[in-house]
Structure 1
């Protein structure tokens, strides 16, 4: 099962190093929603479900008295613990379908780039159970594709990257289907009346070629490819890096590419 690959120490290290950081746009959207729904009350507890190496757990820390990150991967949790510098953040190994929290105890249940691995109905029910009245649920991720922009070379760069995405998407066993429908099925699974589904949220980050190659390595689709055929997977990386360098020429090592992603977010409030 692909989700088991998250337990590999080598993959957890790559994921921590190269997976793109938390989106400021998404964080702002989630926090604004929470503050609006909670009428400005002090925010005591956030639960980051499927937290991985803590990409969103730590950025949430300044806004809550306590943040708990959970994940079923002990390897990812170990990396998160090792790199946690916030005194109000803790981590534990636990499944999304059995949240280790008391009823009505959480102000925010957050799930970033993770809910497609959950049993949606059970997770949604558990989230509602642990949320306080006026507590909020936020589930978000990005569409598995990129658009690269750089001077007059964007078309060639995107052709090179589209070949990568085409190959990686072929590795999926339909586990990532919710990502391709932008979490609409997760939106439907949430049994709360006050909810909304937001799609096609534009987010731009800058990457060097090395960071872009690392980002590819940090994707579970690439790790699935590695498990199937490590030689071909490594060859894909080498060929892609070489092609990007050819396109950019002598300035390849110093270039910062504008990488565009589309995020989507499901927000809900318990009344």
Structure 2
């Protein structure tokens, strides 16, 4: 095992990996076997929360535990947070190290948006929204700052119990920079009642994968479920037939109720996923 260097890159399955020398506050490691990289990991100080340092781990079956242990030992003042797909080689490495706590679960959210049943579901939800007086606006009609005004309160609320935001102004800057490269405003939709936003589905693209997230901008509103479903339906019609993977949290009841009604939802490349702290 050694520090990652530029000549190690790219590594298939680890698009997030950067050379160790490029990390001002962090570490990146690779493990080789028979001249082949069998595991790679990264740990860096996160700008979003004080609850843990951000971590990533890629490994082939039977490997990864050594890299993870080294990342944990690099700074014992703070735990490491990882995204883990159940049943994966990474999950096996985490289990071998032990001591992981699941902070959040993301259920299976892959949706074949070109399927006739899914498009029929979307049509029905848009009809329901029209009858309920829910109005939809595409993200192209709003400035990025206006979208951030909707996004930030929902993000803070959705993370307050497991990854509380330590600096909201700094976090807004992080998302402003992120959205500049990933947000698809044309596939983002805001659902409003009487001119007041109630829910929205934001669409981001990561390495070619379309990853939508539905947020409630007025939690507890009587039209929240209708509005949320409408924003998701409008997004589905906008991107069809490209598949998507919803990234909603298992502890968001409105999102979960809607997700359970969408036909043909299945596991994908990114979901289901557990976010663990170790």
The alignment's TM-score, normalised by the length of structure 2, stands at: 0.26
TM-score by length of 1: 0.26
Q: Which has the higher helix share?
A: 1
**Structure of larger gyration radius:** 2
